[in-house]
């Protein structure tokens, strides 16, 4: 339970108040607002209005943003706030269940869907008429067969509020089917394909009685958007809101590709610094091709070091993919004597950043830090290696380019020339995810591995 201290409630912008006014009479709603438009505070404000106010509020969020949500809920409401990851006499799931006050609990999707969340899910379903649920980053509920989606879909509540700046993950509109159903727009995958997709029915020659629908494009997008609005969807861009964010500059820093890269792509096997790297299939070959460009590339580490030196005392965010990259980044910061904050799946330490230590470098893993964090005290963001997910890339940029940012932002992409990294960036520019299928199309149907 949140420690008692003075609450510091934030006021909403006019565009936020007007948007909430339009959806407050819906039982379920969704804020499809551009990243940085203030979905968190606005969603809490909606759940406190007369039409949505229930004794029990449940917030399903990313684990990395739990503390941020706890802070916002404490400041914006008069509820007793519980952390779903704690197990003490005054906090945690059991304490939340036992509490008779107006209350809320914050818990990550991972814990909610797991066995440890069974008690909480049962309690919520038993008191459904008294429950409002907020699903942050609802694009994560995009696959009907995933355990995460099933756990949320089976949960009963009087109100459900979905938040997402990128509702169609990686440009895949079919990922919105769970969202549509939770808003009360009941549809099946087959109905969605017929109404909004151009589909090619592929027939397996070995099993001619079976066909597999392959989506080749989308149609009736305006109709989809209008239908979502009719079911409680709210769409806001910064331009529509009248919010003028500072300008952004994206710079591509071209890096020399390691000489071993071409050999690896040709043969599927190479030795670097005494370590043998083998791409046994297309998936591992794609992974190692990316790592050769970053983990095994001294030129990229040198380029990052130069950029950090140019930044002087300004705080800089560096996004990375793998733990092996983190070790390199930490070594560079140690050599430059820079304070370090780290956000990844195992650790969230923003102490140096929050204390405004000069020259702080925030080392942020895409999957853990690209959503939900407010890092607008920095205006410089470096992408050490590109991420394959378009939504993760856009979310990462929105950590600094959001409401509250007063300075122009600079994004540096460190990209190896004539490599898979260039293909990834080209795909992201098309607002698509880079996938194993694209890798196969570009580099051949089969990863050739030396005997």
Last residue of a domain, one of 241, 266, 287: 241
The pLDDT > 90 percentage for the chain reads 66
pLDDT digits (tens, 9 = 90+) for 59-108: 999 887 888 899 899 999 999 999 999 988 889 999 999 999 999 999 99
- 3-class DSSP state of 404: coil
149, HSE (Cβ side, Cα atoms, 13 Å): 16
Is the pLDDT reported for residue 447 higher than 70? no
For Cα atoms 115, 119, 120, give the angle at the middle one, nearest 5 degrees: 105
In this structure, the answer to whether residues 75 and 102 fall within a common structural domain is yes
Centre a 10 Å sphere on the Cβ of residue 440 and count the other Cβ atoms it contains.
16
Answer yes or no: is 20 within a domain.
yes
Closest by CA to 318, choosing from 344, 281, 346, 290, is: 344
CATH number of the structural domain spanning residue 387:
3.40.50.300
Q: Residue 87's beta-bridge partner residues?
A: 92
Residues 412 and 431 in one domain: yes
| Mean pLDDT, the chain, whole residue set | 90
- Whole-model pTM: value is 0.72
Residue 427 lies in a domain: yes
At 133-154, the pLDDT tens digits run 999 988 888 888 889 999 999 9
Q: What is the pLDDT of residues 1-29, one digit of tens each?
A: 544 566 678 889 899 999 999 999 999 99
Cβ atoms 383, 319 nearer than 8 A: yes
DSSP secondary structure letter of residue 337: T
Residue 218 lies in a domain: no
142 with 236, same domain?
A: yes
Domain limits at 270?
248-443
94 burial level (CB within 10 Å; 0-12, 13-18, 19+): middle
- Give the Cα separation of 74 and 103 in Å (integer): 10
Structure confidence at residue 34 as a pLDDT band (50, 70, 90): confident
Give the C-alpha separation, 34 to 16, whole Å.
12
Are both 291 and 230 inside the same structural domain? no
Residues 230 and 291 in one domain: no
What are the strands of the beta sheet with 159-163, ordered from one edge? Answer: 80-83, 103-108, 56-61, 131-135, 159-163, 28-33, 233-236
- Assigned token pair, 309: 């030196």
- The total domain count for the chain is 2
**Same domain, residue pair 252 and 167:** no
Helix (H) or strand (E) holding 93: helix 93-98
- DSSP one-letter code for 158: S
Residues 231 and 264 placed together within one structural domain of the fold: no
Residue closest to 449 by CA, chosen among 291, 285, 287? 285
């Amino acid at each position: 339970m949140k420690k008692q201290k003075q609450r510091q409630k934030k006021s909403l912008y006019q565009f936020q108040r007007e948007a909430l006014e339009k959806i407050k009479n819906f039982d379920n709603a969704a804020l499809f607002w551009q990243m940085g438009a203030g979905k968190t505070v606005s969603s809490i404000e909606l759940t406190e209005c007369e039409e949505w106010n229930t004794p029990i509020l449940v917030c399903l969020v990313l684990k990395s943003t739990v503390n941020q949500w706890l802070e916002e809920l404490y400041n914006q409401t008069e509820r007793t706030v519980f952390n779903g990851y704690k197990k003490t006499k005054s906090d945690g799931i059991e304490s939340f269940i036992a509490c008779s006050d107006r209350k809320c609990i914050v818990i990550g999707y991972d814990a909610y869907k797991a066995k440890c969340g069974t008690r909480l899910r049962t309690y919520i379903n038993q008191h459904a008429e008294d429950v409002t649920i907020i699903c942050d980053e609802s694009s994560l509920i995009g696959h009907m067969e995933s355990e995460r989606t099933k756990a949320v879909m089976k949960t009963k509540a009087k109100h459900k509020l979905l938040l997402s700046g990128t509702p169609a993950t990686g440009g895949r509109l079919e990922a919105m089917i769970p969202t549509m159903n939770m808003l009360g727009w009941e549809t099946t995958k087959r109905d969605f394909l017929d109404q909004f997709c151009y589909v090619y029915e592929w027939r397996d020659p070995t099993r001619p009685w079976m066909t597999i629908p392959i989506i080749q494009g989308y149609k009736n997008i305006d109709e989809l958007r209008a239908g979502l609005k009719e079911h409680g969807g709210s769409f806001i861009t910064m331009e529509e809101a009248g919010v003028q964010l500072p300008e952004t500059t994206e710079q591509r820093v071209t890096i020399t590709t390691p000489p071993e890269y071409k050999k690896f792509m040709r043969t599927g096997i190479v030795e670097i610094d005494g370590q043998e790297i083998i791409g046994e299939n297309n998936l591992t070959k794609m992974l190692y091709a990316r790592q050769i460009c970053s983990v095994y590339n001294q030129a990229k580490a040198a380029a990052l070091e130069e950029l950090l030196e140019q930044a002087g005392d300004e705080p800089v965010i560096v996004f990375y993919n793998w733990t092996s990259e983190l070790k390199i980044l930490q070594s560079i910061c140690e050599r430059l004597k820079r304070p370090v904050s780290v956000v990844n799946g195992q650790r969230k330490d923003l102490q140096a950043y929050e204390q405004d230590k000069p020259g702080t470098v925030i080392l942020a893993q895409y999957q853990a830090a690209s959503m939900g964090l407010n890092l607008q005290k920095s205006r410089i963001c470096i992408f050490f290696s590109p991420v394959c997910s378009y939504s993760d890339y856009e979310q990462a940029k929105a950590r600094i380019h959001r409401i509250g940012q007063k300075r122009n932002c600079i994004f540096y992409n460190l990209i190896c020339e004539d490599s898979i990294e260039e293909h990834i960036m080209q795909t992201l520019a098309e607002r698509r995810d880079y996938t194993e299928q694209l890798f196969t199309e570009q580099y051949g149907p089969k990863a050739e591995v030396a005997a």
